[in-house]
Structure 1
Amino acid sequence: MAGRQPDRRAYWRARWRHSIMGRILSGYAEVELMRRSMAFATLGLVTLIPLLILVAAVDPFSPRGFGQWIADGMGLPESTAAPLVRVFRTPHGIAKQTGALSLTLLVVFGLTFVAEVQIGYEEIWRLPARSLLRFWHRSWRLVVWLAALTGYASFEVASGRLLQHGTFASAVRIFIFVTAGLLFFWWGQYFLLAGRVEWSRLLPGAIATVAGLSGLRAFSSLVFDPMIASGAEADGAVGVVLVVVSWLIGVGFVIYGGSLVGRCYHEHRSARE
């Protein structure tokens, strides 16, 4: 009996290591998910948000500017959105005042953010890194993905403005949120990975990402809602920005984590088959 004990422990360790949860926890350490999520938030705040602020300034469905985009993404009510609107207030006529050079720099900064997302997807799926020459040769994918991300965010805000009253409108909004998110993150992985991973393998990750974003939205309405009000009162704009950064870390964690769940599910299913 004593001799069997180590064998049984090794058996259960192997079972856990090859289970879905075991694979996910192993992948969490492998891709350094939390560090990558924090890099996602930092790059998003520095490189992507300035471009989105400019886009939101000309969006007819967001009269309150980019602050309304953030509030909609976090699922916050109009009353809580006021501090966000003040922090991310856009000067009147900024789109007309922005020159071609400034706009080009904003787009380049935004591409840096997309490149980081692409590298994260490649590491999660254990794909070889591309050479610098091939990276620039295929940089058009980053441009298209950035444009699609901007359009997706704008579409979500527009649906929120048009469907904000009544039970039926709420149900339609949820359907649009789930469907658009599923299509975007399913296509987004495939496109950034240049088709090196099959569509069928990417679908579970897209489903996990949308489910995670739905959970994050509910969490934000319960936790970040009072934090924004208290942070704005105690620390002003700095308190509001800190909450936004925390939310962005959660978004990065969900996006990368959803892709990781998809990979682990595929590995677990392949091992069973």
Structure 2
Amino acid sequence: MPSSAGDAPRWRARYSRLVSSARAAHARAETRFPVVTHLADRMVSVNIFDSATRLAAQCFLTAVPLLFVVTAYAPPAVRRQLANSLRSVFGLTGAAAQQLQQVLQPATDDLRQATGVVGALMALLSATAVSRAMQRLCRRVWEIPRGGARIAPWRWVAWLVLWLAALIVQGPLRNGFGAGVWLGVPLLLVTQTLLWWWTQHLLLGGLLGWKPLLPGAVLTALVLTVLSVTARLYMPRALNRTLAEYGSVGSVFVLLSWLIVVCVAATVALSAGAVAAQEPLLAGRLGSPAPLRERGQG
């Protein structure tokens, strides 16, 4: 017992030295590599994996009821275009393409009765959970406190409607409206940039100007365009294999895993864009707000 009591002060002293060393190392790294350390700090504050996983789960849970609504009420031309776009996004072939076609087949009266107008409206309203999750992510990325200005709910609906419209036109967009991928990929990059630029501005309620949001929009568009193009190399085989081995449950796992990868990539890219916009080199030109570590100083 006496030896244990004597060890306690030594352990506290070692812990204090360790903390001091870590802080000193962080300060040296911040001096030598400021952008890297600022980005690492932002990743921790955003909690990228938690935020991305929640966003991916909300996207998946929203997609299922919305597919039923689209199948029940959308015109045949919209259903066909949505099916073509989803096949184009994932490069679906074989069993996966057949299953998608079955999901989006013409609606029956029984399906419309089961869905109902009230059910369709409730599905659309509950889908705004994705908008709210994205809004929370944008606030964390830009270090905006929860007690900031309230955002009008119509912004959640507007964001959801525009992204649904963007998904529907993915097929012809990727094909360059008939010209081929040489035009489709640049068009996809430009469209993604505009969508993510508008997404941040809309869901932040105009708390920030347009210019500071541009680096994050460009980085996110670049990363997601690369992921979107390379998905055609992996997703068709993965979906067909899991469908053959595990049925629909396997396809759910593959799609959710892909959504998590996409959401992590988007979270990292948005965070990197915010950090870049707040660095001295760009902050003055873009009119970016000061990072949280500098607020209240001076």
Q: TM-score range by the shorter chain?
A: 0.7 to 0.9
Paired position in structure 2 for 1:245: 256
Contact kept in structure 1, 2:216 and 2:272, CA below 8 Å: yes
1:149 lines up with 2:163 in the alignment = yes
- Residue matched to 1:38: 53
Does the CA-based 8 Å contact 1:204-1:262 persist in structure 2? yes
| Counterparts of 1:40 and 1:59, CA distance in 2 | 30
The CA distance in 2 between the partners of 1:272 and 1:70, in whole Å, is: 39
Report the TM-score, using the length of structure 2 for normalisation.
0.75
Structure 2 letter corresponding to 1:260: S
Shift of 1:96: 4.7
Gaps of 5+ in 2: 1-20, 285-298
Partner SS for 2:180: helix
1:15 aligns with 2:31: yes
Q: Which has the larger radius of gyration?
A: 2
Correspondent of 1:117 among 127, 134, 137: 134
State, as a whole percentage, how many aligned pairs show the same letter. Answer: 20
| Cα-to-partner distance string for 1:75-105 (whole Å, 9 max, x where unaligned) | x154474265167455624785442201111
Q: Where in structure 2 are the equivalents of 1:173-212 lying within 5 Å? A: 173-212=184-223
Q: Relative to structure 1, is the Cα distance of residues 101 and 189 closer, same or farther in structure 2, using a 3 angstrom cutoff? A: same
Question: Cα–Cα, structure 1 residues 78 and 225, in superposed 2: closer, same or farther, change >3 Å?
Answer: closer
Cα distance in 1 for residues equivalent to 2:270 and 2:229: 21
1:54 aligns with 2:69: yes
Deviation, 1:158, is 4.1
Indicate the residue corresponding to 2:97 in structure 1. Answer: 82
- Cα 1:32–1:88 change in 2 (3 A) is farther
Superposed displacement of residue 12, structure 1: 4.2
Which structure is higher in RCO with an 8 Å CA cutoff and minimum separation 6? 1
Within the candidate set 236, 258, 262, 2:273 is matched to: 262
Contact 1:83/1:228, CA 8 A, preserved across alignment: no
Following superposition, the deviation at residue 157 of structure 1 comes to: 3.0
Aligned partners of 1:59 and 1:211: how far apart in 2? 33
Name the amino acid aligned to 1:123.
Answer: R
1:107 aligned to which of 124, 144, 148: 124
CA distance in 2, matches of 1:151, 1:64: 11
Q: What is the distance in 2 between the residues matched to 1:32 and 1:69? A: 32
Q: TM-score, normalised by structure 1?
A: 0.81
CA distance, structure 1, for counterparts of residue 102 and residue 252 of structure 2: 8
2:26 & 2:166 partners in 1: Cα distance?
Answer: 48
Counterparts of residues 160-171 of structure 1 (less than 5 Å) = 160=174, 163=177, 168-171=179-182
Question: Among 92, 111, 117, which residue is 2:107 paired with?
Answer: 92
Classify the secondary structure of the residue corresponding to 2:144: coil
Give CA deviations for 1:123-176 in whole Å, capped at 9, x if unaligned.
Answer: 111112258x945xx101111111111111112234357846xxx422222232
- Give SS of 2:107's match: coil
CA distance in 2, matches of 1:10, 1:39: 30
Does the 8 Å CA contact 2:212/2:274 hold for their aligned counterparts?
Answer: yes
Query: Does the C-alpha gap of structure 1 residues 92 and 193 become closer, same or farther in structure 2, counting only changes over 3 Å?
Result: same
CA distance in 1, matches of 2:157, 2:201: 15
Counterpart amino acid of residue 158 in structure 2: V
Aligned residues of 1:62 and 1:157 also touching (Cα < 8 A): no
Alignment gaps of 5+ in structure 1? 1-5
Paired residues of 1:228 and 1:239 also in contact (CA < 8 A): yes
